[in-house]
Amino acid sequence: MKSMKNIILTTAILTSLFIITGCEYDNYKAPESLLTGTVVYNGTAVGVRSGGCRLELWQYGYPLRQKIDIYIAQDGTFSARLFDGNYKLVRLSGAPWPANNTDSISVTVKGNTSVEVPVVPYFITKNETIIHDAGVITATCTIEKLGTLNIQSLQLLVGRTALVDVNNNVQSTTVTTGLTDLSTPKTITVTLNDAMKARDYIFARIAVRTSGVTERYYSPVFKINLK
Amino acid sequence: MKNIIKLIFIVIVLLQVTGCGEKWLEKPKSTTILLPEQVWNDKAMIRSLLANLYNRIPHHQANFTGQANMAAYDEGIATGSQESGVDISNNNITSYAYNRWTLWDYSYIRDLNLAIEGLNELSTKLTAAEKEQFTSEFRFLRAWDYFEMVKRMGGVPLITSQLIYDFNGDPSYLRNPRAKEEDVYDFIANELDEIKNTIGNEDSQDRANKYAVLALKCRAMLYAGSIAKYNALMPVPITLPGKEVGITASRSDEYYQKALDAAREIIQSGKYSLYKANSDPGVNFYELFVKKQNNPEMILRRDFNILGNKKHNYSYWMICRTMREDNLSSSAVNPPLNLVEAFEYLDGTPGVLQGVGDGTVAGQANWIFYNKPQDIFANKDGRLYGTVVYAGTTLKGVDVNIQAGVYEWSPSLNRYVRYESSVFGSLHTDGKLLTGLGGPMRNVDEVSNTGFYVRKFIDPATLSSARGVGTDIPWPYFRYGEVLLNAAEAAFELGFIPEALTYINQVRERAGFPPNSLDASTLTFNRIVNERRVELCYEDHRVWDLARWRLAHTLWNGQSSNPNAVMYALYPYRIVHPGSPNDGKYVFDKFVAPKFVAPRYYREGNYYSQISQTVLDNNPLIVKNPFH
């Protein structure tokens, strides 16, 4: 009976030893460095659909080559919590700009790091104004063509929250004609319905869709006070 | 302590001594491991292997698996049934993921190649005819799997023999690039042509025969033809420089002709016909899927058998809440109003329901007061009844009892006031029904959210919707109705309008339309699109059809202003208005289904699915699909 007790005691001591030592070895520290950045054209942030466009982040030197997907926020910014190290940032297609798979961007992450990712969208908008008059939202902008593809449509999207895109909107207007001559400013309107008119403020945004490309280029979001 | 150590020592020694005594490695015949020579010389074993291979054909939407995909497009929404795996997230797919349909099924292809080679190299006891038949069946399944891959991925590597590593230290010779999309379709056509006369199984509906081979060829060639035609008509066609995706536009007629020829061969054989055993078109269309014996329409199906314990739980998940026989589940997938309105009126007019409000006070002006709830669906295509459970009908002999609430007249407000309840079978203050045993309810799980339930494939047998019993309704892979529609579409695209009309009008006549309901002036491409939508609903066609016609990205464009991308509900209400002729009548309100969140969003990048990063890492010869 005495030896039995000893065995139990020994087992208990051994087990607790294992647990204590085990904890020290099988855990990595969580990544602490923050990589932040913006997708820009000519120094101006490029607006996209929330959750719609990605960048890929790769790190050399590890046997398991799985990329890190980084989703771009609607104002063109992105961020990722990473370990320090050297990374490659890849611009993918499925975005309002052409893919650039051959030319990745080297990023050295050491502590909190900031990076600008230059892209050339198919189209951009300039000099955007969005105003409200008597229940009608009117947007004006100049469209500039930067690629070879054709324009498919110009849209004005109106929503209740600051998150506005083709998925998140309450009312929208789509124009597909009169877009051949891009030298003149374009105007597009949305007539607010009663529910929207009753609000204190709304958010609006212009989107340009390129023919054959799903993701649109978006202007910055405008907050419009109705009262 | 010492004793214990001693004991352990003795046991170890004993184990080693006895272990060595028997010659484990030289045991003459294993009963659990079968050698290739044994398998390929025994017909019973080959058949059992074949059964396994038939079971591994990929499914996206079927009655025994993948029901969630019935709630992911415009055929249904999910209601939040706990048990079915039809997750409520199907109502909130912001955009379809690029890898949603990814299929890289090479373990199955390998097993088929292994079977073809094993049978031909090692089999000595089977006759040449038996070997040829089995080989034909393996090749049929392989062609079918390549079709399942090419419709999702575009061109994939064509592997037709086992890839065996010779351990020379460099496995790169095993890498194969993607074939052109059209090459994969040509491979499928050639394979099927070669085996159609040797596959046998003449009268089987459960193993492939010549007509199943032709039906697969017909479907595959129709896909190839329409991709060739409609991809080229896009403003920016989806292609890759090596033509891994995108089919040469000029080949569309060639593919349509092959599809038509295959369909004609089935039709002219006279071996199959449309199921017409019941004189009521609606009930007949329902029976088509649940009657197993003497069903002349089924060319190839996956059968189940309750007595053999080969069964599934489709009825448990899908059954209308009113007559569920289990204490859980039911109502997993609800057909939206969009689908119900796709069924035309029998006079050929579009199926939009008449006299429907929108839930607002102003909308009450639109109401038509119907005597009975089913009256709003009167004179519709019979397939509506066979596919969808709607108010005023019965299922398994029980009234479905679908009523959302009542509208009671308020003299002071001078309008009707709405009352709804979340209690099943609750009564209004007048002592009559408020909310039915079958809902619909706006925010309760396991009850209809749209006002409709699924009827297609529901087993009429007692207790079939209880988990312990289950259902053995078969799954139709290929049926004559689809062949007729394939033939009609191919003939239409080739300009053979009278021929197209004979095929499509047969299908419509079975659904209750008068003979020759379409003529050369009314048969349009959109008519064919809609005909396939209503005839082949829930049969794993809709999403693939819209993809090959390149319609999916415009129809489901993710915009809440697009009525095709948003799923609607239709709630029936009883009128309480004593003293008025409208008292006791029924009205209907249409609105976005309360549980539906994100409009359907299919992007150009969805036409060809994403190839996984592991595949790209392992084989640098594989090129990515566009937009990924």
pLDDT tens, position by position, B2-20: 676 776 666 565 555 555 5
pLDDT value of position B48: 94
- Is B548 part of a structural domain of the chain? yes
Does the CB of B626 have a partner CB in chain A at under 8 Å? yes
Q: CB–CB of B138/B119 below 8 Å?
A: yes
pLDDT at B238 over 90: yes
Are B95 and A213 in contact (CB < 8 Å)? no
pLDDT tens, position by position, B430-472: 999 999 999 899 999 899 999 999 999 999 999 999 988 999 9
Mean pLDDT taken over chain B: 93
Q: CB–CB of B588/A55 below 8 Å?
A: no
Instruction: Please state, in angstroms and rounded to a whole number, the distance separating the CA atoms of residues B461 and B558.
Output: 40
One domain, residues B548 and B565: no
pLDDT tens, position by position, B194-215: 999 999 999 999 999 999 999 9
> What confidence category does residue A91 fall into, taking pLDDT thresholds of 50, 70 and 90?
confident
Instruction: Please state, in angstroms and rounded to a whole number, the distance separating the CA atoms of residues A36 and A17.
Output: 42
Give me the CATH code for the A123-225 domain, please: 2.60.40.2060
Instruction: Please state, in angstroms and rounded to a whole number, the distance separating the CA atoms of residues B126 and B109.
Output: 24
pLDDT value of position B88: 87
Q: Name the nearest CA neighbour of B564 among B334, B233, B341, B331.
A: B341
pLDDT at B89 over 60: yes
One domain, residues B412 and B278: no
One domain, residues B589 and B523: no
All residues at 6 or more sequence positions from B397 whose CB lies less than 8 Å from its CB, including other chains: none
Instruction: Please state, in angstroms and rounded to a whole number, the distance separating the CA atoms of residues B82 and B338.
Output: 25
One domain, residues B370 and B452: yes
pLDDT at B560 over 60: yes
Percent of chain A with pLDDT over 90: 48
Chain B residue numbers with beta carbons less than 8 Å from the beta carbon of A56 are: none
pLDDT value of position B10: 64
> What confidence category does residue B305 fall into, taking pLDDT thresholds of 50, 70 and 90?
very high
pLDDT at A25 over 60: no
Domain boundaries, chain A: 33-118, 123-225
Are A7 and B559 in contact (CB < 8 Å)? no
One domain, residues B399 and B294: no
Q: How many other CB atoms sit within 10 Å of the CB of residue B619?
A: 16
Are A166 and B557 in contact (CB < 8 Å)? yes
Q: Exposed (0-12), middle (13-18) or buried (19+): which is B26, by Cβ within 10 Å?
A: exposed
Length of chain B, in residues: 628
Instruction: Please name the member of A149, A167, A212 whose beta carbon is closest to the beta carbon of B604.
Output: A212
Q: Name the nearest CA neighbour of B205 among B304, B346, B106.
A: B304
pLDDT value of position B527: 96
Interchain CB contacts (distance < 8 Å): A and B = 56
One domain, residues B538 and B565: no
Q: Name the nearest CA neighbour of B221 among B181, B193, B262.
A: B262
- Is B325 part of a structural domain of the chain? no
CATH code, B498: 1.25.40.390
Measured CA to CA in angstroms, residue A117 lies from A44, A221, B394 at distances of: 11, 21, 62
Q: Please determine whether the domains at A33-118 and A123-225 fall in the same fold group of CATH.
A: yes
| Helices assigned H by DSSP within B80-164 | 106-122, 128-153
Q: CB–CB of A213/A187 below 8 Å?
A: no
pLDDT value of position B11: 59
Identify the contact set of chain A against chain B, taking CB-CB distances under 8 A.
Answer: 3, 6-7, 51-52, 65-67, 92-94, 149-150, 152, 166-167, 169-172, 211-215
Q: CB–CB of B542/B75 below 8 Å?
A: yes
Are A166 and B559 in contact (CB < 8 Å)? yes
CA B75, B81, B87, B93 dihedral sign is positive
One domain, residues B274 and B413: no
Does the CB of B271 have a partner CB in chain A at under 8 Å? no
Q: Name the nearest CA neighbour of B182 among B246, B236, B237, B261.
A: B246
- Is B92 part of a structural domain of the chain? no
Percent of chain A with pLDDT over 70: 91
Chain B residue numbers with beta carbons less than 8 Å from the beta carbon of A7 are: 1, 4
Does the CB of B30 have a partner CB in chain A at under 8 Å? no
One domain, residues B152 and B134: yes
Instruction: Please state, in angstroms and rounded to a whole number, the distance separating the CA atoms of residues A223 and A44.
Output: 19
Q: Which two tokens stand for residue B402?
A: 């679908």
All residues at 6 or more sequence positions from B143 whose CB lies less than 8 Å from its CB, including other chains: B187, B188, B191, B192, B216
Are B598 and A167 in contact (CB < 8 Å)? yes
Mean pLDDT taken over chain A: 87
Q: Which has more confidence, A68 or B388?
A: B388
Q: Which two tokens stand for residue B69?
A: 């995909």
Give me the CATH code for the A33-118 domain, please: 2.60.40.1120
pLDDT value of position A23: 56
How far does the CA of residue A23 sit from the closest CA of chain B (Å)?
31
Are B234 and A212 in contact (CB < 8 Å)? yes
One domain, residues B407 and B520: no
One domain, residues B432 and B498: no
pLDDT value of position A29: 80
> What confidence category does residue A11 fall into, taking pLDDT thresholds of 50, 70 and 90?
confident
> What confidence category does residue B29 fall into, taking pLDDT thresholds of 50, 70 and 90?
low
Q: How many other CB atoms sit within 10 Å of the CB of residue B171?
A: 12
- Split into its structural domains, chain B has a count of 2
pLDDT tens, position by position, A167-220: 888 999 999 988 888 889 999 999 999 999 999 999 999 999 998 888 999 999
One domain, residues B202 and B113: yes
- Is B315 part of a structural domain of the chain? no
Q: Which has more confidence, B7 or B314?
A: B314
From the CA atom positions of chain B, what is the Rg in Å? 28
Chain B residue numbers with beta carbons less than 8 Å from the beta carbon of A212 are: 234-238, 604
Best mutation target, B4, B6, B94, to test chain A (most A CBs within 10 A) = B94
Find the domain containing B530 and state its range.
Answer: 40-58+103-163+176-303+477-553+605-618
Instruction: Find the residue in B nearest to A216 (Cα).
Output: B603
Q: Name the nearest CA neighbour of B420 among B406, B400, B409, B438.
A: B406
Cis peptide before B594 (omega within 30 of 0): no
One domain, residues B123 and B239: yes
Give me the amino acid identity at B343.
Answer: F
What are the beta bridge partners of residue A88? A58, A106
pLDDT value of position B28: 61
